[in-house]
Amino acid sequence: MGEKVKLGVGLLLLAGCGVWLSFYYGTKPKPGEPVAHLQPLACAACGAAYAGEAGALPTKCQKCGKNEAYRALKCRNCNTLFPLVRAEGSFADKAGVKCTKCGKSSFTTEISSDELQKP
């Protein structure tokens, strides 16, 4: 009897997860919908970090005009924002990325908007 109850609870949890997932994916913008998407960018040429609209990276730096603005990362050690310079569009390239200031390879992509200069 006890086992049956456990199984029932497990199935209920699974069903709950399914509902949550479909809700989560349902709130995402549909493909083809225009979305103003700002993301943290950092320039490999001048070192500026700011929130900018970016499609394919690297993109044109808003500060110096060079085509060297990449996705910005924040160093967990010294909080420096530095560009994720990568040749291919794959996140596997994150391996070996190091902070340009302290050289540590511990970083986060979570950068709050007040850490970025306004465009």
**Rounded alpha-carbon distances, angstroms, from residue 33 to 28, 30, 52:** 10, 6, 19
Q: Which range in 7-15, 31-39, 52-60, 95-103 contacts Zn ion by CB under 5 A?
A: 95-103
Cα 118 to Cα 1, 33, 49, 97, 101: the distances in Å are: 62, 25, 9, 26, 22
> Residue 10 or residue 117: which is nearer to Zn ion going by CB?
117
- Is residue 114 helix, strand or coil? helix
Q: Of 8-16, 23-31, 56-64, 85-93, which part binds Zn ion (CB under 5 A)?
A: 56-64
Out of 54, 86, 101, 115, which residue is the one contacting Zn ion (CB under 5 A)?
Answer: 101
Stretch that binds Zn ion, among 5-13, 26-34, 49-57, 91-99 (CB under 5 A): 91-99
Q: Distance between CA atoms of 108 and 48, rounded to whole angstroms?
A: 18
Binding residues for Zn ion, rule: CB under 5 A, are: 43, 45-46, 48, 61, 63-64, 75, 77-78, 80, 99, 101-102
